[in-house]
Structure 1
Amino acid sequence: MRLPPLKALPVFEAVARLNSFSLAAEELAVSQSAISHQIKQLETYLGEKLFWRSGRTLTLTDEGRQYLDGIGTALLQIERVSEQLLGHEGARLRLSVFSSFAVRWLVPRLPDLQRQYPQLELALEMSSESPVLSDRVADCFITIKPASAAFSYELLYTERLFPVCSQDYWQRMRRELGWDAQAPGADTPALTPEHVSGFPLLSTHSIFDKAAGDWEAWYGTVNQTIPADARLQHFSHMLLALEAARFHQGIALTNDYMLSTRKDSGDFVRLPGHAVMTGDTFYFAWKTSRRHERGIQMLRRWLVDEAILGGLRNE
């Protein structure tokens, strides 16, 4: 068996992950010159340059990136197999997740995860909508783009948007629409797009990557356009638009997980209007080669159970 210099492999992984020779030296408790020596030895063995160095800037070459993908996975597997043989029952996982999903859905549920699986140590990594699916980024992901054939995917949620406002603002709307004089127990009339356009529309840019894209889609579902006289207030993120709605500033479009079992979900009213599908589907993703790892399977089962219990996914 012809192997590369094994001592150099964790050094290479640390330098690539931290993007720094000095930080890798600090983490591994060795000198920076020792780090440089190990990397040079590995590059000599492979006959390939693994890093480009320009002043203080350090970047992986294409060959270095390809090598890291394989080495990172191998080192993680060695670590986990060794822990199993040593009798260590704990499981450590890094989960890459979107900010809104983490803040509104996942974080409030973490105490339940810890009670059910106390041996699972979960570290959350904030991600963009299109995280790079790689072991060097995280051990598993919540993503809307199942693009990598090396990963397996479990459905969690198919996104839809519906209009909401605060409890106080809903009472104001009912007064302005003349619905506050309804007999007790009478059904609330359907809220039409014409009704909605009479109030400020709180728009989220990030959903459709364009100003008022969410409200354009909502009106488009019933073959209408946003009225020219509609009052639009723009926000970059759904979290911001929902906060504005909480403070009685108008009507926002939000989704199911943003209002799922949070204590403050009672601050909002889901208005009696139609919903629009965004086209985004949320998946839990993990590298197929790591499918037997205990921690990944515990987290997968828990996420699916919670998604079903919270109404995000059908059983």
Structure 2
Amino acid sequence: MRLPPLKALPVFEAAARLNSFSAASEELAITQSAVSHQIKQLETYLGERLFWRSGRRVTLTDEGRQYFDAIGSALLQIERASEQLLGHEESRLRLSVFSSFAVRWLVPRLPDLQRLHPQIDLALEMSSENPVLSDRVADCFITIHRDSRAYSYDLLYEERLFPVCSQDYWQRMRRELGRDVEPERRDEQPVSPGEMAGFPLLSTHSIFDRPAGDWEAWYSAAGELMPTGTRVQHFSHMLLALEAARFHQGIALTNDYMLSTRKDSEDFVRLPTHSVVTGDKFYFAWKTSRRRERGIQTLRRWLVDEAIRGGLRGE
């Protein structure tokens, strides 16, 4: 078996992860010259340059990035296997997750995860866009793309959008639509797309990456075009549009996980009208080569169970 200089591998992993030889030396409690020596020894053995140096900062070359992806996983597997034999049950995991999904769905459920699986030490890495699937970013991911063959995926949710507004705003709408003459009923007459256009519509740009794209899709699902002159207020993210709806500024399109467990979901009314499927599917993703890691599989099963129990996903 031909192996590279084994002492150099943890040094390389730390320097690649931290993008700094000095930071790696501090983390490993060795001198910076020792870090440089170990990296040079590894580069000599491989016959490839692993880093580009720029002052105190270093960046991986293409070869270095490819090597880091493989070595990082291998070192983690060695660490996990050793911890199991030593009886150390704690699993440290980094989960990359969309900010809105984390704030509105995941974080309120974390006490249950900690109660059921106290051995999991979970660190959340917030992502505003779809994350790059790599060990350099996180150990596992919640993503809407399945574009890496090196990863496995488990469905959590297929997104649909539906209109909501505040309780006070709904009463105002009922008055203006002439529906306040009778007590409000659960089988409320549907609000038509034309009636919706008479009120300010709060739009989230990031869903379809174009102004009013969410409301255009909602009208299209009803076989209509959004009426010219409709008042639309634009927001970059759904969290902002939902907060504007909470404070009686109009009607927002939101999804199931945004109103799944938060107590303040009672502040909103889901309007009696149709919903639209966006085509986005949320998956829990993990590197297939790490499929035997107990912590990742425990977290995967817990997330899927919670998605089923909360109604995001069917059995």
1:173 & 1:57 partners in 2: Cα distance?
58
SS in 2 for 1:249: coil
Closer, same or farther: CA 62–185 of 1 in aligned 2, 3 Å: closer
Aligned-residue identity in percent: 79
The corresponding residue for 1:42 is: 42
Closer, same or farther: CA 117–134 of 1 in aligned 2, 3 Å: same
Closer, same or farther: CA 188–32 of 1 in aligned 2, 3 Å: same
The corresponding residue for 2:308 is: 308
Cα deviation digits, residues 27-83 of structure 1 (max 9, x gap): 112222221111111111111000112345422111001101110000000000000
The corresponding residue for 1:119 is: 119
Contact preservation (8 Å) 1:129, 1:143: no
Alignment of 1:1-315 (within 5 A): 1-183=1-183, 185=185, 187-315=187-315
Structure 1 residue ranges without an equivalent (≥5): none
- TM-score w.r.t. structure 1 length? 0.97
Q: For 1:132, give the aligned amino acid.
A: V
| RMSD of Structure 2 on Structure 1 (CA) | 1.2
Contact preservation (8 Å) 1:165, 1:248: yes
Cα deviation digits, residues 231-278 of structure 1 (max 9, x gap): 110000000000000111000000000000111110111111111111
Alpha-carbon shift at residue 312 of structure 1 (Å): 0.3
Q: How many aligned residue pairs are there? A: 315
Q: Which moved further from structure 2: 274-283 or 292-301? A: 292-301
Q: Which moved further from structure 2: 288-297 or 246-255? A: 288-297
Q: For 1:143, give the aligned amino acid.
A: T
SS in 2 for 1:159: strand
Structure 2 residue ranges without an equivalent (≥5): none
Cα deviation digits, residues 197-223 of structure 1 (max 9, x gap): 111110000000111110111111112
- TM-score w.r.t. structure 2 length? 0.97
Contact preservation (8 Å) 1:164, 1:269: yes
Alpha-carbon shift at residue 110 of structure 1 (Å): 0.2
SS in 1 for 2:155: strand
Alpha-carbon shift at residue 147 of structure 1 (Å): 1.0
